[in-house]
Amino acid sequence: PGRAMWAAGAARGAALAAAAAVTAVALAVAAWRRARPVREVLFFPSRPCCIEALLAEAAEPGAPARPCPCPLPSGDTALSRLVRRLLSARRSLDLCLFSFSCPQLARAVQLLHRRGVRVRLVTDAQYMGLHGSQIGRLRRAGIQVRHDQHSGYMHHKFAIVDRRMLITGSLNWTTQAIQSNRENVLVVEDAEYVKAFQDEFERIWEEYNPANYRFF
Amino acid sequence: PGRAMWAAGAARGAALAAAAAVTAVALAVAAWRRARPVREVLFFPSRPCCIEALLAEAAEPGAPARPCPCPLPSGDTALSRLVRRLLSARRSLDLCLFSFSCPQLARAVQLLHRRGVRVRLVTDAQYMGLHGSQIGRLRRAGIQVRHDQHSGYMHHKFAIVDRRMLITGSLNWTTQAIQSNRENVLVVEDAEYVKAFQDEFERIWEEYNPANYRFF
């Protein structure tokens, strides 16, 4: 019996040690995941998808999900990943976009604005007035928009989330580009790259200050 | 005299140790520079500049520089930096470009092709025939070109040098974009990002294989 008791104790001890080890590894992995900067590449075209669930969750975190009646799948696509990254904004969203006509992305931006995120948007003067442009809608919602006054294009297509995460690539924010074109978007959480783009954004934001507009 | 000799010997020893330390630091810095991956952001518009000296040096390394008679400055600009990165190719250059009409960049690509670098170029069918396009010239020079057959655009604007360095951004390779637009180009020497784009390039290269072209 002494020997059996010893064996049982040893087994219990080994099980406890194993459980502790598993917990330690799990905690380390979780910490590493949290600390690891985001590095992602999204390629388009994206399969069309429904982002209602993403928007609803961002508008009212934890609210019971209401299924969307639309026929689109709500799976994991390049578009849904892009929307997720944008909706992660808590303090600021700086947008520098040549053309912006995708209603789904406009709804995500509007939602962030309503949630109190400071949204600033720079765009191209020649493209902001085109059919389908979402710029007017965003302005009416109270979002600050500035545009160039040049003959050259304001051709950037980047977003900076919370001055921390850079989202940049070839993709204009149009449904045509998202669903039909070969496009790329990099998601980069790297202080050096983010700083370069944040500085460019601030330069453009000041240069396009309406106080400097000239009326020909 | 014994004391003076000792002092002189100690001074000599200290000087030698200091020299060794300086050399060690210099070697370490040089090694770190070599090993440090390229991370660069280029913003456009670029001041117009002459790239003849860069092309001449790449065509005939070490040859005496002949001054160019053109009136443009040959300083450090976003364009000259982009050209330098391209001309660093030794084995391969994979290009995936929506539109390519800048003659300066076409000359750089042609030079690499002549130097034995394996150049592959993917472009957009609707844009390759536009006025000023350099695609015909590059094809006639013997460079392999493939294009899409879709109504959507092949809208990427990236280059991969030696399967090692990714050059990507909003910039189309047109003189208008380089000299007049607000544009960005990232230069990234990072295996993870490069692999994602290299894989995308190989997918497109195969998909656009002329053996798969359909004639409507």
Side-chain-facing half-sphere of B62: CA atoms under 13 Å: 0
| CA B65 to mean position of chain CA atoms | 21
Residue B195 falls in the annotated catalytic set: no
Mutate which of B126, B149, B170 to disrupt the A interface (most A C-beta within 10 Å)?
Answer: B170
- CATH of B38-212, picked from 3.20.20.70, 1.25.40.10, 3.50.50.60, 3.30.870.10, is 3.30.870.10
pTM confidence score: 0.84
Mean pLDDT of B194-209: 97
Residue B33: band (very low, low, confident or very high) from pLDDT cuts 50, 70, 90 = low
Residue B142: band (very low, low, confident or very high) from pLDDT cuts 50, 70, 90 = very high
* Beta pairing partners, A43: A184
Kindly report the nearest CA distance between residue A165 and chain B, in angstroms. Answer: 15
Contact present, B55 and B189 (Cβ < 8 Å): no
The reply to whether residue A168 touches residue B182, judged by beta carbons under 8 angstroms, is: no
**Token pair in block for residue B42:** 């280029």
Mean pLDDT of B30-59: 90
Would you state the pLDDT for residue B129?
80
At A119, is the secondary structure helix, strand, or coil? strand
Catalytic residue among B76, B150, B155, B199: B155
Mean pLDDT of A170-177: 97
Report the residue from B156, B180, B200 with minimal CB separation from A151.
B180
| A142 DSSP assignment | T
Q: Is the Cβ of A191 closer than 8 Å to some Cβ of chain B?
A: no
Q: Is the Cβ of A170 closer than 8 Å to some Cβ of chain B?
A: yes
Contact present, A213 and A147 (Cβ < 8 Å): no
Mean pLDDT of A178-190: 97
ipTM: 0.84
Which of B19 and A185 is assigned the larger pLDDT? A185
Nearest one of A68, A96, A65 to A167, comparing CA atoms: A96
Would you state the pLDDT for residue A67?
84
Residue B162 falls in the annotated catalytic set: yes
A-proximal residues of B, 40-99, CB under 8 Å? 41, 43, 45, 98
| Catalytic annotation, residues of A | 155, 157, 162
Mean pLDDT of A130-158: 94
Count of CB pairs separated by less than 8 Å, A with B: 93
Residue B56: band (very low, low, confident or very high) from pLDDT cuts 50, 70, 90 = very high
Nearest one of A175, A39, A203, A91 to B191, comparing CA atoms: A39
Residue burial A132-162, b: 16+ Cβ < 10 Å; e: rest? ebbbeebeeeebebbbbebebbbbbbbbbbb
Q: What percent of chain A has pLDDT over 90?
A: 69
Residue B29: band (very low, low, confident or very high) from pLDDT cuts 50, 70, 90 = confident
The reply to whether residue B170 touches residue A98, judged by beta carbons under 8 angstroms, is: yes
Check whether A33 has a pLDDT greater than 70: no
Contact present, B201 and B144 (Cβ < 8 Å): no
Q: Please state the φ and ψ torsions of residue B23, each to the nearest 5 degrees.
A: -60, -45
Distance, in Å, from the CA atom of A154 to the CA atom of B177, rounded to the nearest integer, reads 10
Would you state the pLDDT for residue A105?
97
Distance, in Å, from the CA atom of B100 to the CA atom of B71, rounded to the nearest integer, reads 25
Mutate which of B97, B174, B176, B181 to disrupt the A interface (most A C-beta within 10 Å)?
Answer: B181
Which of A74 and B116 is assigned the larger pLDDT? B116
Check whether B216 has a pLDDT greater than 70: no
**Least confident piece of the model among B62-66, B146-150, B174-178:** B62-66
Residues 6+ away with beta carbon under 8 Å from A174: A99, A100, A101, A102, A132
Task: Quote the Cα angle for B181-A170-B44, to 5°.
Answer: 25
Would you state the pLDDT for residue A216?
58
Would you state the pLDDT for residue B179?
96
Cβ neighbours of B168 in A, within 8 Å: 169-170, 184, 186
Residue A143: band (very low, low, confident or very high) from pLDDT cuts 50, 70, 90 = very high
Which of B21 and A174 is assigned the larger pLDDT? A174
**Token pair in block for residue A95:** 């947008």
The reply to whether residue A182 touches residue B39, judged by beta carbons under 8 angstroms, is: no
Beta-carbon count within 10 A of B23 CB? 10
Q: Give just the sign of the alpha carbon dihedral A184, A189, A54, A127.
A: negative
Contact present, B168 and B188 (Cβ < 8 Å): yes
At B134, is the secondary structure helix, strand, or coil? coil
Q: Is the Cβ of A23 closer than 8 Å to some Cβ of chain B?
A: no
Distance, in Å, from the CA atom of B95 to the CA atom of B114, rounded to the nearest integer, reads 16
Tokens 């070969």 locate to A182
Mean pLDDT of A86-115: 97
Residue A34: band (very low, low, confident or very high) from pLDDT cuts 50, 70, 90 = low
Check whether A1 has a pLDDT greater than 60: no
**In what helix (H) or strand (E) does residue A79 lie, and over which residues does it extend?**
helix A78-87
Would you state the pLDDT for residue A151?
83
User: What's the pLDDT tens digit per position in B127-138?
Assistant: 888 889 999 999
User: What's the pLDDT tens digit per position in B84-102?
Assistant: 999 999 999 999 999 999 9
Q: Is the Cβ of A158 closer than 8 Å to some Cβ of chain B?
A: yes
Cβ neighbours of A156 in B, within 8 Å: 170, 182-184
Beta-carbon count within 10 A of A30 CB? 10
Contact present, B145 and B138 (Cβ < 8 Å): yes
**Exposed/middle/buried for residue B33 (C-beta within 10 Å: 0-12, 13-18, 19+):** exposed
Mean pLDDT of A192-196: 97
**Token pair in block for residue B182:** 């607000």
Q: Is the Cβ of A197 closer than 8 Å to some Cβ of chain B?
A: yes
Would you state the pLDDT for residue B215?
66
Contact present, B175 and A201 (Cβ < 8 Å): no
The reply to whether residue A170 touches residue B157, judged by beta carbons under 8 angstroms, is: yes
User: What's the pLDDT tens digit per position in A53-70?
Assistant: 999 999 998 888 788 889
Q: Is A100 left (phi over 0), alpha (psi -120 to 50) or beta?
A: beta
Report the residue from A152, A180, A200 with minimal CB separation from B152.
A180
Would you state the pLDDT for residue B11?
83
**Least confident piece of the model among A68-77, A91-100, B152-161:** A68-77
The reply to whether residue B41 touches residue A197, judged by beta carbons under 8 angstroms, is: yes
DSSP, residue by residue, B78-92: HHHHHHHHHHT-SSE
- Spell out the domain ranges in chain B: 1-36, 38-212
**Exposed/middle/buried for residue A190 (C-beta within 10 Å: 0-12, 13-18, 19+):** middle
Beta-carbon count within 10 A of B3 CB? 7
